[in-house]
Homo-oligomer: A and B are copies of this chain.
Amino acid sequence: MSEEKKPTAAVMTAWASRCLMKQGATPDVAQSMAEHLVAGDLLGFRTHGLLRLRYNLQALQRGQTKPAGEPELVQGRAAIELWDADLLSGLYVVPKAVKRAIAMARVCGTGTVVIRRTQHVAALAVYLEQAVDAGMLIQMMCSTPAQEVVAPYGAKSACFSPNPFALGVPTESAPILLDMSLSMTAAGKVRTALAENKQLPYAALITAEGDYSCDPATFVAEPASVLASLGGKELGYKGTGLNLFSELWTLALSDYGRKDAAPADADANTVWLQVVDPTAVAEQGAFERQASALVEALKNTQPIDPQQPVRVPGAGALATRARQLTHGIEYSAATWRQLEWCADFCDEPLPTAANAQ
């Protein structure tokens, strides 16, 4: 795909939505799934963008992801609700939960939704701005009850899933957006290193012998290595504490832990999301002023490398999005091949040079 063929977000969203409908998704479900996958591409979270359309199409076809319906309210009070998504896509359910949390926060000051059994949440980053645009703070965590791939501190076997942690807040200019894992690396990065025959840049794996390792080959060995908790060899107890934070506030609070996860739920996620309305405790605009002051303080520190100013979380992602909104989404050849597979699978031709702008 040459420079001038980069498709627009609108064209790709419409195409992906048609593909998802071909696999049975209702128009609303398909539109939300497509939008939030493309939103991942726009922010540069390429491993959680349309690269995962194939997975989602197949999950719909197999009945693993539910194509229609609404999440069920299990139980709640004025400021917190537990939802069961009944295997609907997180790409459809999470935006509804953020909307509900915002409504609760307007009344109570904070609003929390815990969602269990939701398929493919993708990048938490794509849900943050819905709250930020409403003037709110948002904090999200996500775990996977059927996965164990991250080791606690001092162990050479796993008990945690890869657990992302995200937050978003408004400032007087661009929002602060953060989306990171609580392990030293993500399984996807290990698989990428393996495919490219490269070592990891630091020892993020723990082998079955208990050694910290940079070698991605250990991840597919038998017995396999596992991901280390954030903090690593010296401070991994901190990452272990943060992984427990995630899993207690998702799995335990939703009363749906590893013993409850059915084989059909193998990839389903559990999400904690909480929204805070800063005008509940201070005048309009006060939070944004203070958040901007923190951003300024961050920027005013002295960089170790004068060529590398200290970065504000989210600034890179927002720049990537602005560029792609202007010039089109930059799909790699490998991703485009996955999209061609989807086009064939659904008999929905990919946007061409003629219609991609």
> Binding site of A, secondary structure by majority: helix, strand, loop or mixed?
mixed
Query: How many Å from the CB of A132 to the closest CB on chain B?
Result: 12
A76-B281, A114-B281, A252-B278 known, 18 other contacts, Cβ within 8 Å = A108-B108, A110-B110, A137-B249, A152-B298, A154-B304, A155-B303, A156-B302, A156-B303, A167-B245, A169-B252, A201-B234, A202-B234, A232-B235, A242-B242, A244-B313, A252-B290, A253-B290, A258-B293
A256's closest neighbor in chain B, by CB?
B290
List CB contacts (< 8 Å) of A5-23 with chain B.
Answer: none
**Does A245 lie within 8 Å of B76, measured CB to CB?**
no
**Does A280 lie within 8 Å of B80, measured CB to CB?**
yes
List the 7 closest pairs (A to B, CB-CB), nearest first: A80-B109, A77-B109, A210-B304, A155-B301, A252-B290, A82-B281, A79-B108
The reply to whether the CB of A173 lies closer than 8 angstroms to some CB of chain B is no
Q: How many copies does the complex hold?
A: 2
7 contacts between A and B (CB under 8 A): A155-B310, A159-B294, A159-B298, A180-B238, A180-B241, A230-B231, A242-B242
Distance between Cα atoms of A110 and B112 in the complex (Å) = 8
The reply to whether the CB of A81 lies closer than 8 angstroms to some CB of chain B is yes
The reply to whether the CB of A255 lies closer than 8 angstroms to some CB of chain B is yes
For A235, list chain B residues within 8 Å (CB). Answer: 184, 202, 230, 232
**Does A281 lie within 8 Å of B244, measured CB to CB?**
no
**Does B151 lie within 8 Å of A301, measured CB to CB?**
yes
List CB contacts (< 8 Å) of A211-231 with chain B.
Answer: 230-231
A239's closest neighbor in chain B, by CB?
B230
The reply to whether the CB of A311 lies closer than 8 angstroms to some CB of chain B is yes
Query: How many Å from the CB of A122 to the closest CB on chain B?
Result: 19
For A252, list chain B residues within 8 Å (CB). Answer: 169, 278, 287, 290-291, 293-294
**Does B313 lie within 8 Å of A241, measured CB to CB?**
yes
**Does A248 lie within 8 Å of B137, measured CB to CB?**
yes
A308's closest neighbor in chain B, by CB?
B154
For A311, list chain B residues within 8 Å (CB). Answer: 153-154, 237
**Does B257 lie within 8 Å of A294, measured CB to CB?**
yes
**Does A169 lie within 8 Å of B282, measured CB to CB?**
no
Query: How many Å from the CB of A76 to the closest CB on chain B?
Result: 6
Distance between Cα atoms of A289 and B202 in the complex (Å) = 37
